[in-house]
């Protein structure tokens, strides 16, 4: 007999969860495509995509099918054994990218942790144990472990946790001269997001990305691209590095990789992978059959010409709607990002109002995100319906009327 479900409400959160989040006042209970319903049955249009995670919307039939089929077959065997879904997913990621080798984890932070450890380990083994400097960027975000939060360029997330890992230096994003000023032969890696997500949805310029590649080559450092948010079709290509004509040494991906199921990957070349050996790094759950089966189903759909071309068409629809709102409210100084990672920067007279707009939008039945205090961030499903875009934007317009 099924156990009785305990009644819980939003106030339960304040009693039982560590107070590190401030979630909305409604509790979503069901999702279908780009629509979500709360405990009271109220409907919302989802422009947040679980922070760029639900790239195929909620409960996509192919992902549900993969979950059910694998869920009745094999969930977990540990890395003492391998499994078929992990091998198939790795093979498909390699076929679609520059990479020869894959490491699976469960979160973006874990993929980045693995990437940063690999970069230092490679430099230590191939060059010198003193070649350990990591160059990263102000306003970057790479995760919440002590190492990844230290590489991230936002002190508000890393201060107060005791001594930080050493030999990490931060310089301004999109400023090649600043990188030239600090790079040297002790540098093991430059770590960069092709599109800074948390930092305001700011894409790297082509000249910057190409310059980083050249500097890494000159100093025998690795170019590590954090594609946790920008990867898996979000930019209109499978990975955002493809827009730049630059081949990285390591990329990480997570978020949309499992379409909502926790899974991440770090991808690299045979040469860089060659320094690793059994026992040097690992994870209990990473590459488990359940996660990999779902991620394979997501990859098979996302990595198609129809879906990737559709991302760019949908971006145009969103930008047109945002420009219409700007014409009404004199609201945005800039609409930036790539593909369906969209940042709408507020004009100085509306500074600090991003969170108010998010809350008002929720009240009107549309879920949006912020990137800092002055940027609205949209990261909807890559296959969101045109009608959902129009209806969600109409709701956002009503919310703006309330706030402004």
- 95-141 per-position pLDDT tens digit: 999 999 999 999 999 999 999 999 999 999 999 999 999 999 999 99
Asked if the domains 10-59+305-403 and 74-302 are classified in one and the same CATH topology, the answer is: no
> Can you give the pLDDT at residue 43?
98
Whether 51 has a pLDDT exceeding 90, the answer reads yes
Q: Is 374 a catalytic residue?
A: no
Whether 398 has a pLDDT exceeding 80, the answer reads yes
Among candidate residues 292, 229, 293, 287, the one with its CA nearest the CA of residue 255: 229
CA distances from residue 102 to 195, 212, 244 in whole angstroms, order as listed: 22, 23, 22
What percent of the chain clears pLDDT 90, i.e. is strictly above it?
Answer: 98
* pLDDT tens, position by position, 211-249: 999 999 999 999 999 999 999 999 999 999 999 999 999
Fold of 10-59+305-403: 3.90.1150
Q: How many CA atoms lie within 13 A of 329 on its CB side?
A: 23
Q: Is 208 a catalytic residue?
A: no
Q: Where are the domains of the chain?
A: 10-59+305-403, 74-302
What percent of the chain clears pLDDT 70, i.e. is strictly above it?
Answer: 100
Among 26, 103, 116, 141, the active-site one is: 141
Q: Is 126 a catalytic residue?
A: no
- Provide the pLDDT confidence category of residue 2 given band limits of 50, 70 and 90: low
Burial 184-195 (b: 16+ CB within 10 A, else e): eeebbbbbbbbb
d(CA 287, CA 252): 14
Whether 187 has a pLDDT exceeding 90, the answer reads yes
Question: Do 398 and 359 form a contact (C-beta atoms < 8 A)?
Answer: no
- Provide the pLDDT confidence category of residue 1 given band limits of 50, 70 and 90: low
Q: Are strands 187-192 and 133-137 parallel, antiparallel or unpaired?
A: parallel
Among 226, 249, 374, 388, the active-site one is: 226
d(CA 159, CA 149): 9
CA dihedral 205, 208, 210, 211 (to 10 degrees): 170
Q: Are strands 28-32 and 35-38 parallel, antiparallel or unpaired?
A: antiparallel
CATH 3.40.640.10, domain 74-302, yes or no: yes
Q: For residue 190, what is the enclosing H or E element?
A: strand 187-192
Place of tokens 């630059």: 246
Whether 3 has a pLDDT exceeding 90, the answer reads no
Q: What are phi and psi of 114, to 5 degrees?
A: -65, -40
DSSP state of 33: B
DSSP state of 366: E
d(CA 374, CA 100): 40
Question: Do 321 and 332 form a contact (C-beta atoms < 8 A)?
Answer: no
Question: Do 344 and 350 form a contact (C-beta atoms < 8 A)?
Answer: no
Among 255, 318, 374, 388, the active-site one is: 255
* pLDDT tens, position by position, 262-295: 999 999 999 999 999 999 999 999 999 999 999 9
Mean pLDDT across 397-404 = 95
CA distances from residue 75 to 2, 65, 127, 289 in whole angstroms, order as listed: 22, 15, 41, 6
C-beta atoms surrounding 114 within 10 Å: 24
> Can you give the pLDDT at residue 4?
84
Q: First and final CA of the chain: distance in angstroms?
A: 53
Whether 306 has a pLDDT exceeding 90, the answer reads yes
């Amino acid at each position: 007999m099924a156990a009785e479900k305990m009644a819980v409400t939003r106030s339960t959160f304040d009693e039982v969860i560590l107070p590190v989040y401030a979630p909305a006042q409604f509790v979503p209970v069901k999702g279908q495509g780009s629509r979500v319903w709360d405990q009271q049955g109220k409907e919302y249009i989802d422009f947040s995509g679980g922070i760029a995670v639900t790239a195929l919307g909620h409960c996509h039939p192919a992902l549900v099918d993969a979950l059910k089929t694998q869920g009745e077959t094999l969930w977990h065997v540990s890395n003492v054994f391998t499994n078929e879904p992990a091998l198939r997913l790795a093979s498909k990621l390699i076929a679609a990218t520059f990479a020869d080798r894959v490491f699976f984890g469960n979160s973006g932070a874990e993929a980045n942790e693995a990437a940063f450890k690999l970069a230092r380990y490679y430099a230590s083994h191939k060059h010198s144990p003193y070649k350990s400097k990591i160059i990263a960027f102000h306003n970057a975000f790479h995760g919440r472990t002590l190492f990844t939060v230290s590489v991230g360029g936002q002190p508000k997330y890393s201060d107060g946790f005791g001594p930080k890992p050493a030999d990490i230096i931060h310089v301004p994003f999109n400023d090649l001269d600043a990188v030239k000023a600090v790079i040297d032969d002790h540098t093991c890696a430059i770590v960069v997001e092709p599109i800074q997500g948390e930092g305001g949805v700011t894409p790297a310029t082509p000249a910057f990305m190409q310059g980083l590649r050249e500097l890494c080559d000159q100093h025998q450092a690795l170019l590590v691209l954090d594609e946790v948010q920008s990867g898996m079709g979000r930019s209109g290509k499978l990975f955002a590095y493809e827009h730049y004509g630059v081949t990285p040494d390591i990329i990480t991906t997570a978020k949309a990789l499992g379409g909502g199921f926790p899974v991440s990957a770090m991808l690299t070349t045979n040469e860089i992978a060659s320094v690793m050996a059994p026992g040097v790094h690992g994870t209990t759950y990473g590459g488990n059959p359940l996660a990999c089966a779902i991620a394979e189903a997501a990859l098979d759909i996302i990595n198609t010409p129809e879906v990737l071309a559709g991302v760019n068409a949908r971006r145009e629809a969103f930008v047109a709607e945002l420009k219409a709102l700007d014409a009404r409210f004199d609201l945005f100084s800039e609409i930036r990002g790539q593909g369906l990672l969209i940042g709408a920067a507020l004009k100085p007279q509306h500074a600090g109002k991003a969170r108010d707009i998010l809350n008002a939008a929720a009240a009107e039945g549309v879920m949006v995100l912020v990137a800092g205090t002055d940027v609205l961030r949209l990261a909807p499903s890559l296959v969101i319906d045109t009608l959902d875009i129009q209806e969600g934007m109409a709701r956002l317009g009503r919310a703006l009327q309330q706030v402004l």
